[in-house]
Each structure stands twice: as structure tokens, then as C-alpha cells.
């Protein structure tokens, strides 16, 4: 009889255990009615995506995990919010780009199943002003790069061309305009059309690296396939140039001191698509030494320029971002200061999505929503 009672006891205990586990499992849920939306409400200064879901008061999760990605296969944990929430606004987004999300409930240390992945492009408010035709060629927007180091001998930018220019306007995107060896001005970047002294003068997309205060061509070294220029229409300057068929994609561009002689320091610029191994060189330029300071001075500007109107006079639509900045192979900027040129201010926007990038947007329907700002570069 005792054995029978003992057997019945174990049966009851096991049934109770299984039933309890089943109940717990049944109480765990996948968030329901998970949706994405995007709007712009004045006077917001950012683009955003709104996530929403039904609040769960039955299974009582501890928190909600939010996953985010740039495709539907690779999403990473982006944030965790209180289980009492049923919406979240993501302001770390750019326009003209699709973002993917899914969410899940977390019970203590146990994460239950995630929702299906859904996606959306952030809403971009349109400018209701009439864009001018044949605007005065000028700079568009600027970002001054400030470092803790007063000077340095190399700087590298990672940047993305999100879309091709929409028309045949002359555009120049400069990664650093500043000074080397105290007072010698320089700049370098990519252009839609690079000029050659020999016919055909227009050589299409390419690269330019220039300095002022000289017309002496012994101060430059031409890269393979490239050419040089010496002129005085912007003050005395020399320039090295090369063809480079840039397009939509992500690139790295670097200015670096590579040699020294009895006259001065030689700096070269090179660029590559991050998906490729081969680099393209602009060429090299010599900068006379100075007893006051040496190297590249902190505080140079990234900036975009409309230097030639399109054939129909319309403002080009273009989107470029700088995704990383590094000097001496290891140091990030301390802060960034953004500025608009009043000429095209109403039809451009310069903004950051995470305080470790800078987006430059221009076009006939682009609406300026982000004011000039100074932000500390996020090194995380």
C-alpha cells in the first residue's frame, strides 16, 4: 500500500511540474501588432522612425529588446526599453535609406521569440519653396573638424556616396581644406568634372589635390595616369589630378606625409573603394618647411561646392556622408562645427545620425530642418 501511495505521489508531482511549465510557456508571448511609421513635425531638427506594438499586461515581460539593421538578415540589438512602453522613436536614422526592425519580450533573463522583420524608409519632408534656377556658384555646407592635437601628419576619411548627382552640375566635395606647415593653404577631394590642360579638357569624374603660394611645378609629383596644373586664377597655385570614376558606394581617402627633402615635406593623397584592394593616387605635393609649425593644422573643413551650374540651371540633388575620421591612424575628432552657406541654405541639410558621422544633403526639394550646430564626436 505504501508503494502505491508513493507512486501516486510521484505521478502527481510530475504532472504538476509539467503543467506549471506549460502554463509559464503559454504565458510568454511574441509582441503583437508591431508596426513602423515615420513623420516629420515642425520644429523637429531630425529624421525619425516610430516603432509601436500592443502593450502586454498578461505575460508581464521585464523589458523589450529592439533589433535594428540595414538589411533583413543582419539585425543587431539596438536598445532595450521598459516593458511598460508600447512605442519607441528612433532618431538615429538618415533619409533615403531603408531600416529593418524586429522586437522581442524578455522574461527575467529569458528572451522569447522575436517578431517578424519589418522595414521602412524615414519620411523626408519636402521643401515647398520654389528652387532658384542658375544660383550663384558657391559652397553649400561645411563641417569644421577640431582635434585635440594641434597638428598631425595624416588624416583619413571614410565616406559614402549615397546617390549620384541628379544632373550635370559641377560639384566638388572637399575632405579637408586647411593649412600645412603653418601658412600654406591646401585642399583635396572629388569632382564631377576634372579639367585637363590638353584637349579634351573635360576628363569626367576625378580627384584634385591643390596648394597655394606657388606656381613652381617642381613642387609636385604626378601619379601614374595623372596630370598637373599651375595657374593663377585663384591666386598662385599648383595642383595634381587624376581620373577616378567614383559612384554610389563607400570609400576611404587619406592625406599623408610620405617623404622629406631639403626644401620641405611631401604629402600625397590616395583613395580606394572599401570593397577593393587597389588604391588610386592623386599625386604628391611639396610644402616648404616652417620654423613656426609643421604638419596639417587642426580645424580644417569638409565642404561641398557647386562650382558650375547644370545645363538647365536646376540645383543638383546629391547625398554624401562622412562616416569616420581618423588622424595619425588612431585619433578621432574632438568636435565638429557645421555651417551653411546662405546662398543655398534653404535647399540643403547637414546633420548627424549618431554624432560620429556627417551627412550632406542638397537638392531642389531638400528642406533644411537641422540648424548649424557644434557636437562632440562620439568615439563609442
* Domain membership flag for residue 77: yes
Q: Which residue has the cell 573603394?
A: 273
For the stretch 59-116, pLDDT in tens is 889 999 999 999 999 999 999 999 999 999 999 999 999 999 999 999 998 999 999 9
* 221 and 249 part of one domain: yes
What torsion do the CA atoms of 147, 148, 151, 155 make, to the nearest 10 degrees?
-40
Are residues 30 and 112 in contact, defined by beta-carbon separation less than 8 angstroms?
Answer: yes
* 186 and 298 part of one domain: yes
> From CA 106, how far away is CA 110, in angstroms rounded?
6
Q: Is the pLDDT of residue 195 over 60?
A: yes
Give residue 106's domain range: 29-120
Closest C-alpha among 114, 60, 103 to residue 80 = 103
* 108 and 207 part of one domain: no
For the stretch 47-62, pLDDT in tens is 999 999 999 888 889 9
Are residues 244 and 204 in contact, defined by beta-carbon separation less than 8 angstroms?
Answer: no
> From CA 104, how far away is CA 116, in angstroms rounded?
10
* Domain membership flag for residue 216: yes
* 116 and 145 part of one domain: no
* Domain membership flag for residue 23: no
* 150 and 250 part of one domain: yes
Q: Which residue has the cell 547625398?
A: 319
Q: Is the pLDDT of residue 20 over 60?
A: no
* 113 and 171 part of one domain: no
27-36, 140-149, 192-201 — which one is most confidently predicted on average?
Answer: 140-149
**Number of structural domains in the chain:** 2
> From CA 172, how far away is CA 191, in angstroms rounded?
4
* Domain membership flag for residue 201: yes
| pLDDT value, residue 11 | 44
* 153 and 87 part of one domain: no
> From CA 328, how far away is CA 156, in angstroms rounded?
8
Q: Is the pLDDT of residue 4 over 70?
A: no
* 259 and 310 part of one domain: yes
3-state secondary structure of 5: helix
Are residues 109 and 291 in contact, defined by beta-carbon separation less than 8 angstroms?
Answer: no
Contacts of 261 (CB under 8 A, 6+ apart): 286
* 113 and 152 part of one domain: no
* 214 and 345 part of one domain: yes
Burial label for 92, CB within 10 Å (0-12, 13-18, 19+), is: middle
* Domain membership flag for residue 258: yes
**Proportion of the chain in helix, strand, coil states, percent, rounded to 5:** 10, 50, 45
Q: Which of 54, 85, 120 is the last residue before a domain boundary?
A: 120
| pLDDT value, residue 99 | 98
* 100 and 174 part of one domain: no
- Supply the CATH number for residue 102's domain: 2.60.40.10
* Domain membership flag for residue 21: no
Which of the residue ranges 26-30, 154-158, 282-286, 374-378 would you say has the lowest mean pLDDT? 26-30
For the stretch 167-185, pLDDT in tens is 999 999 999 999 999 999 9
pTM: 0.89
Q: Which of 91, 120, 149 is the last residue before a domain boundary?
A: 120
Q: Which of 92, 120, 148 is the last residue before a domain boundary?
A: 120
Q: Would you place residue 209 in the very low, low, confident or very high pLDDT band (cuts 50, 70, 90)?
A: very high
For the stretch 230-261, pLDDT in tens is 999 989 999 999 999 999 999 999 999 999 99
Give Dmax (Cα) for the chain.
Answer: 112
- Supply the CATH number for residue 345's domain: 2.60.120
* Domain membership flag for residue 13: no
* 216 and 317 part of one domain: yes
* Domain membership flag for residue 39: yes
Amino acid at each position: 500500500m505504501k508503494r502505491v501511495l508513493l507512486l501516486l505521489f510521484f505521478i502527481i508531482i510530475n504532472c504538476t511540474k509539467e503543467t506549471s511549465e506549460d502554463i509559464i510557456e503559454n504565458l510568454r508571448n511574441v509582441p503583437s501588432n508591431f508596426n513602423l511609421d515615420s513623420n516629420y513635425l515642425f520644429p523637429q531638427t531630425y529624421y525619425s522612425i516610430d516603432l509601436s506594438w500592443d502593450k502586454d499586461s498578461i505575460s508581464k515581460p521585464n523589458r523589450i529588446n529592439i533589433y535594428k539593421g540595414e538589411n533583413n538578415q543582419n539585425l543587431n540589438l539596438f536598445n532595450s526599453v521598459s516593458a511598460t512602453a508600447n512605442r519607441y522613436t528612433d532618431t538615429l536614422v538618415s533619409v533615403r535609406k531603408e531600416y529593418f526592425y524586429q522586437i522581442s519580450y524578455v522574461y527575467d533573463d529569458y528572451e522569447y521569440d522575436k517578431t517578424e522583420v519589418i522595414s521602412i524608409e524615414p519620411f523626408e519632408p519636402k521643401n515647398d519653396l520654389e528652387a532658384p534656377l542658375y544660383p550663384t556658384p558657391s559652397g553649400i555646407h561645411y563641417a569644421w573638424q577640431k582635434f585635440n592635437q594641434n597638428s598631425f601628419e595624416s588624416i583619413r576619411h571614410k565616406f559614402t556616396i549615397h546617390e549620384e548627382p541628379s544632373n550635370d552640375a559641377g560639384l566638388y566635395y572637399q575632405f579637408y581644406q586647411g593649412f600645412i606647415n603653418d601658412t600654406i593653404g591646401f585642399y583635396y577631394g572629388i569632382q564631377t568634372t576634372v579639367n585637363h590642360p590638353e584637349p579634351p579638357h573635360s576628363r569626367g569624374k576625378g580627384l584634385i589635390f591643390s596648394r597655394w603660394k606657388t606656381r613652381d611645378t617642381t613642387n609636385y609629383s604626378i601619379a601614374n595616369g595623372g596630370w598637373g596644373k599651375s595657374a593663377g586664377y585663384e591666386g598662385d597655385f599648383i595642383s595634381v589630378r587624376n581620373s577616378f570614376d567614383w559612384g554610389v558606394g563607400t570609400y576611404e581617402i587619406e592625406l599623408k606625409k610620405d617623404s622629406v627633402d631639403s626644401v620641405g615635406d611631401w604629402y600625397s593623397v590616395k583613395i580606394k573603394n572599401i570593397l577593393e584592394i587597389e588604391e588610386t593616387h592623386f599625386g604628391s605635393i611639396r610644402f616648404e618647411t616652417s620654423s613656426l609649425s609643421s604638419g596639417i593644422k587642426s580645424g580644417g573643413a569638409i565642404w561641398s561646392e557647386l562650382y558650375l551650374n547644370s545645363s538647365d540651371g536646376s540645383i543638383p540633388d546629391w547625398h554624401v556622408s562622412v562616416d569616420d575620421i581618423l588622424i595619425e591612424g588612431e585619433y578621432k575628432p574632438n568636435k565638429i562645427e557645421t555651417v551653411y552657406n546662405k546662398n543655398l541654405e534653404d535647399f540643403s541639410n547637414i546633420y548627424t545620425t549618431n554624432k560620429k558621422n556627417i551627412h550632406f544633403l542638397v537638392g531642389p526639394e531638400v528642406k533644411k530642418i537641422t540648424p548649424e550646430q557644434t557636437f562632440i564626436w562620439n568615439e563609442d
